[in-house]
Structure 1
Amino acid sequence: MSKTGQQQQQYLNQVSINVPPQLPSKCFDDDGRLKRTGSVWTASAHIITAVIGSGVLSLAWATAQLGWIAGPTVMFLFSFVTYYTSTLLAACYRSGDPDSGKRNYTYMDAVRSNLGGFQVKLCGAIQYLNLFGVAIGYTIASSISMMAIDRSNCFHSKGHESPCRVSSNPYMIAFGVVEIVFSQIPDFDQISWLSIVAAVMSFTYSTIGLGLGIAKVAENGKIKGSLTGISIGTVTETQKIWRSFQALGAIAFAYSYSLILIEIQDTIKSPPSEYKTMKKATLLSVVVTTAFYMSCGCFGYAAFGDSSPGNLLTGFGFYNPYWLLDIANAAIVIHLIGAYQVYCQPLFAFVEKTAREWFPHSEFITKEIAIPIPGLKSLKLNLFRLVWRTVFVIITTIISMLMPFFNDVVGILGAFGFWPLTVYFPVEMYIKQKRIPKWSPRWLSLQILSGACLMISIAAAAGSFAGVVSDLKVYRPFKTT
């Protein structure tokens, strides 16, 4: 290269080194990604879609195990803990400055930035295994609701003396087929509309469940239940203990959404800071869900007492007005279609990101094929996404068909995910980020909270596993009920 050429190259190098980083523009955020458009309302819709899920239907049963004193008290305590630890976790979305610090796009990214090391792998394993479990739980719950519609219509047309036997397998397969289609939506940002529809559906069936509970109380002419819950004699002392523990897991599952909180927060626009918006969305969502939970759990228990069903809507002893039950169960199915996507999108994104990092030159993994759709935008089809997400849905559907124990699965998921994801990691990251001194009053308070929640999770897991063992003694796979 000539001397003049060398001088030009040195000049260009100096220019490229001194170019300031790109500032946020109308189209892009400070990290160079497309402008985020989420708000308090879209974040709340995502949270409500995730929180007011199938878990609300088991709360009457959970209240029946604990009684009028412990049941509502435990629900309130879980709501407070969930809100408090969610605000701690939301503060970890950005490392350093809450307005301009480095973004953490996923829960694992937040753990990596604040704790690092082995804890990142542990967090990932727990989070993604829990998401996998939620997909199974939602497949089971949707089939139960579809079976309820079938049985309700059967009883209406053939009379209550008819056996009306129904198999859950065709309904699980149908739900799986629908999820295969919706799973092709590329990422979280593009499912806001699905979350809003699902949130509306969750309010629909929760309100119907509440209304039917109130109607049942009026029909009975009294409030059923007791201060201490289901009585010894109806169940044995051992069953009472295990069921009480399982009820803790069911309530924990009903409030669980921390495992996708960071992913939801990453959809929010700024200013104001994502933390401020997420804190408002969390407060709004937890207040709304707690009001619904208290109402459904308490009125369900008041209506049925010790015989409160594991699934409030499908356990009603009467099938009139059958059309109202059909609407409620249809709303559950529509809600669960959206909730399945809200929970699975982070898992889908993790696997696809990892695959691109491992095989960056593979066209099967990276190539997007544009398929024109008349009157609409072209559909971008990725073959790896199509194959992997389809296989994932098929696996969760098959496992659901083999183990359709709604209450036990809900309890296990709640117990397994509550302490590490809702309490432990948010507390530890917050301590590290805020540099809270060891053995200080605040540090001790946070550790006591974490320790107490660990004990609750262990008890809930023990009760739920005991329930699964009990069910397996009498269960026959693929049996028509």
Structure 2
Amino acid sequence: MGPQQPDLPFAEPSSKKEAAFDVEGAPMAPDGRRIHREATMVPMDELKAQRHGTWVECVFHIITAVIGSGVLYLPYFFAILGWVGGITMTLLFGAITWYTSRLLADAMVINGVRYRTYQSAVEACFGRRGGILLAIVQYPNLILTAIAYNITAANSMKYFAYTYKSFADSSLCTAVHPETGYCIDCKYWVFSIIFGAFQLFMSQLPNLDSAAWASAIGMLCSFGYSFLCLGMSIWQIATYGAAPTRVDGYPVSEIGHAQLTWDVFNAFGGIVFAFSFSFILIEISDTLKEGGRGPVWHMKRAVWVGVAIITTFYFLVSVLGYLAYGYEALYHNPYVISFWSQADNVWPSTAATTNVSRAANLLVLIHMVPAYQVFSQPVFAEVERVLRHRGKATLLAKTGYVGFRLCFRSLYVVLVCFIAIALPFFSDFVGLIGALGFWPATVLFPVEMYRKIHKPGRGMTIWLESINVFCALITICAIIGSVQLIIKDASDYSTPFSG
């Protein structure tokens, strides 16, 4: 049984003759035009008004979503895995992400129907149960990522404040280092609320297409702190020489076999999830305007350019950071910004390097603003789309669409902010949920959808399923590592609003 068709197509082929299909799976009219029908209950004129994006703007969204502050932890993963393991995993999962994302881009148009969401495309291939299974994986991950970004933004504000010795006299500071005089602990929840308050305004942007300008700013910021990391690593090597590194990873004699195993599993997960953006790939593609060679071609170009840029930056940051600081220092201080600030007191630093640390934290903070929206806007769109079409929401009926959007999105931001404050080690749970979601969303569904649509031969099928099995094993390792990290950090849990 082939892919299912939606009940209400909005644009039929211009010819009664059977349409030919091109290599992207889109039907071709006799005059060579692609024919797309929309798998949605939104009229075509409204869709055109919502879509203004190009493949370049899709690259902005991809880079904003993927290159996060996690790039500043990549040298730490090299410290655990060593040169061989670090380089192999970085290049391997860059290639896997590129490959499976192109497979998924093929599924945004099925039998001439252009799908607006990942869930609707999966449902077209595997029915309602498949769509529900994907939704169970996809939407919790998007929400949890927004929570993690709230935490990251609050921490960036906190670390920025720490670089000023005068902050130690502030009422927000709760602990001061006895030797350096810098603040070392503060009321984190205040910074989280500040970021949440700003997101109350940003979340009223109508849709992801209207946030393209914010994603462009986010992309520039991600490049900014990545370049700072590269520049500081080069300066460090030129000033002090290369630090000790290892080919085979962190020495087991120093931490034992069990701890090294957990660390390796977490490093696998950290590198794998650093590349993942399949949860929102089709939602990003929904911003593409019609025309040219069609949305599939443009989305594949965006994937190619985006993943190439991401992999290049990841590789350079990892290699130069590892050379600059070495396996021993990175293992005990995973976040490379901590090497630049006098407030952290973990590495010889100056007023100049402290200013670089401030700039990096500020760029991370600014980047988190649009990144939060890239992962939250698909959640907003899905909830509002379902309620508008069903017309059964009491709040929607009483307040109208604009009023409902204001209330619903504001409540979402408040809840995200509250969870970010209430669970100090929530990022560990995000790692676990991300581990659970990586394989099905990034590999399993794209592979099986491609097989369903294109019916590849035996050799291609074996290749695709080999990738499937390998990524499933990596995911299992990452899950085990995340569970161990949660158990470890839960022992240091502190109550909300305590500091």
What TM-score, normalized to structure 2?
0.83
Would the aligned equivalents of 2:421 and 2:497 in 1 still touch at CA under 8 Å? no
- Structure 1 residue 325 and structure 2 residue 344: aligned? no
Q: Which residue of 2 aligns with 1:3?
A: none
2: distance between equivalents of 1:397 and 1:446? 40
Query: Which runs of no fewer than 5 residues in structure 2 stay unpaired?
Result: 1-9, 15-35, 39-43, 170-176, 341-345
Mapping for residues 12-161 of structure 1, pairs under 5 Å: 31=38, 32=44, 33-35=47-49, 36-96=51-111, 101-154=112-165, 161=180
2:329 to 284, 294, 307: 307
Deviation at 1:392, TM superposition (A): 1.5
2: distance between equivalents of 1:260 and 1:242? 29
The letter for the 2-side match of 1:93 is M
Would the aligned equivalents of 2:432 and 2:479 in 1 still touch at CA under 8 Å? yes
Deviation at 1:115, TM superposition (A): 1.5
Question: Closer, same or farther in 2 for the Cα pair 1:261/1:361, shift >3 Å?
Answer: closer
Would the aligned equivalents of 1:58 and 1:407 in 2 still touch at CA under 8 Å? no
Q: Which residue of 2 aligns with 1:16?
A: none
Highest CA radius of gyration, 1 or 2? 1
- Structure 1 residue 281 and structure 2 residue 302: aligned? yes
2: distance between equivalents of 1:319 and 1:279? 45
Post-superposition CA distance 1:306-359 (Å, at most 9, x none): 331333224543363222221111111111110000011111111112222343
2:444 to 413, 420, 424: 424
Question: Closer, same or farther in 2 for the Cα pair 1:306/1:174, shift >3 Å?
Answer: same
- Structure 1 residue 222 and structure 2 residue 266: aligned? no
The letter for the 2-side match of 1:312 is V
Deviation at 1:123, TM superposition (A): 0.1
Q: Which residue of 1 aligns with 2:313?
A: 292
Q: Which residue of 2 aligns with 1:345?
A: 377
The letter for the 1-side match of 2:306 is S
Post-superposition CA distance 1:284-326 (Å, at most 9, x none): 1111111111111222222222331333224543363222221
Q: Which residue of 2 aligns with 1:474?
A: 492
Mapping for residues 157-196 of structure 1, pairs under 5 Å: 161-164=180-183, 165-196=185-216
2: distance between equivalents of 1:365 and 1:66? 56
The letter for the 1-side match of 2:132 is K
Would the aligned equivalents of 2:75 and 2:317 in 1 still touch at CA under 8 Å? yes
Deviation at 1:472, TM superposition (A): 1.0
2: distance between equivalents of 1:294 and 1:262? 26
Question: Closer, same or farther in 2 for the Cα pair 1:260/1:154, shift >3 Å?
Answer: same
Deviates more, 1:56-65 or 1:427-436: 56-65
Mapping for residues 384-395 of structure 1, pairs under 5 Å: 384-395=404-415
Question: Closer, same or farther in 2 for the Cα pair 1:361/1:80, shift >3 Å?
Answer: closer
State percent identity of aligned pairs.
33
Would the aligned equivalents of 1:52 and 1:289 in 2 still touch at CA under 8 Å? yes
2: distance between equivalents of 1:157 and 1:473? 28
2: distance between equivalents of 1:191 and 1:61? 33
Please give the secondary structure, in 1, of the residue aligned with 2:293.
Answer: coil
Deviates more, 1:142-151 or 1:222-231: 222-231
The letter for the 1-side match of 2:462 is L
Q: Which residue of 1 aligns with 2:256?
A: 236
Please give the secondary structure, in 2, of the residue aligned with 1:103.
Answer: strand
The letter for the 2-side match of 1:142 is A
Post-superposition CA distance 1:249-272 (Å, at most 9, x none): 111221111100001111112221
- Structure 1 residue 411 and structure 2 residue 431: aligned? yes
Would the aligned equivalents of 1:268 and 1:274 in 2 still touch at CA under 8 Å? yes
Would the aligned equivalents of 2:147 and 2:419 in 1 still touch at CA under 8 Å? yes
- Structure 1 residue 453 and structure 2 residue 471: aligned? yes
Please give the secondary structure, in 1, of the residue aligned with 2:127.
Answer: coil
Would the aligned equivalents of 1:144 and 1:314 in 2 still touch at CA under 8 Å? no
The letter for the 1-side match of 2:315 is M
Please give the secondary structure, in 2, of the residue aligned with 1:313.
Answer: helix
2: distance between equivalents of 1:199 and 1:325? 19
Deviation at 1:236, TM superposition (A): 2.5
Post-superposition CA distance 1:185-216 (Å, at most 9, x none): 11111111111111111101111112122222
Q: In the comparison of the two structures, how many residue pairs are matched?
A: 441
- Structure 1 residue 206 and structure 2 residue 226: aligned? yes
CA RMSD of aligned residues (A): 2.5
Question: Closer, same or farther in 2 for the Cα pair 1:391/1:363, shift >3 Å?
Answer: closer
What TM-score, normalized to structure 1?
0.86
